[in-house]
């Protein structure tokens, strides 16, 4: 399977609830390499660009206001089949439908505050990474776990 990069936002509610370590731990134990990571209060224009496919939907304005209300953590993650793998780890958009064992299934309460965003395709991942990261903020590296034991 091809090595891919994907993008995630750990949403403001997860920082407020002190869930960041638990969530990153799930990414790591699933084998994702962290190539980029930062905490930021997402500027309104950036949130608008990121969520532009949802303009006009009933949840668009509340979503924008939530995502810009407090700091979030954004990350570039890499592994084989990264996009699909991260979507599975995140679980269904609505936490009520998300399976136990997934991040949203375990920690999510409402759809708006559903803990994490995960890119829905390789194309979206490229677009979203480009919105949030400069090239020099993404560190490309390979690893070999066995060398560390």
Pairwise CA distance, residues 29 & 114, whole Å:
21
DSSP characters over 104-149: HHHH--SSTT-SEEE-SSHHHHHHHHHHH--GGG-------GGGG-
Q: Does 124 bind ligand CMP (CB under 6 A)?
A: no
Stretch that binds ligand CMP, among 15-23, 39-47, 106-114, 139-147 (CB under 6 A): 106-114
52-81 residues in contact with ligand CMP (CB under 6 A) are 59, 63
Catalytic residue among 12, 117, 118, 119: 117
Token pair recorded at residue 136: 């020099």
In the bound state with ligand CMP, the residue whose beta carbon lies nearer, of 69 and 93, is: 93
Supply 55's token pair. Answer: 């303009």
The yes-or-no answer on residue 117 being catalytic is yes
Reduce the DSSP state of residue 1 to 3 states and report it. Answer: coil
Residue placing its CB nearer to ligand CMP in the complex, 52 or 143: 52
Q: What is the dihedral of CA 50, 51, 52, 57, to 10 degrees?
A: 180
- Selected from 103, 114, 125, 129, the binder of ligand CMP by CB under 6 A is 114
Q: Which of residues 79-98 bind ligand CMP (CB under 6 A)?
A: 93
- Positions marked catalytic: 117
- Site residues (CB under 6 A) for ligand CMP? 59, 63, 93, 111-112, 114, 117
């Amino acid at each position: 399977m091809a090595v891919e990069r994907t993008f995630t936002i750990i949403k403001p509610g997860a920082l407020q609830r002190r869930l960041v370590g638990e969530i990153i731990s799930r990414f790591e134990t699933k084998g994702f390499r962290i190539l980029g990571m930062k905490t930021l209060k997402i500027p309104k224009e950036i949130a608008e660009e990121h969520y532009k496919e949802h303009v006009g939907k009933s949840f668009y304005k509340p979503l924008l206001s939530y995502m810009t209300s407090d700091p979030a953590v954004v990350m570039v993650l890499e592994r084989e089949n990264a996009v699909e793998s991260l979507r599975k780890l995140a679980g269904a958009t609505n936490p009520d439908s998300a399976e136990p064992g997934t991040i949203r299934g375990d920690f999510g309460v409402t759809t708006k505050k559903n803990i994490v965003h995960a890119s829905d395709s390789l194309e979206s991942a490229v677009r979203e990474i480009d919105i949030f990261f400069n090239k020099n903020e993404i560190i490309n590296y390979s690893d070999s776990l066995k060398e560390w034991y």
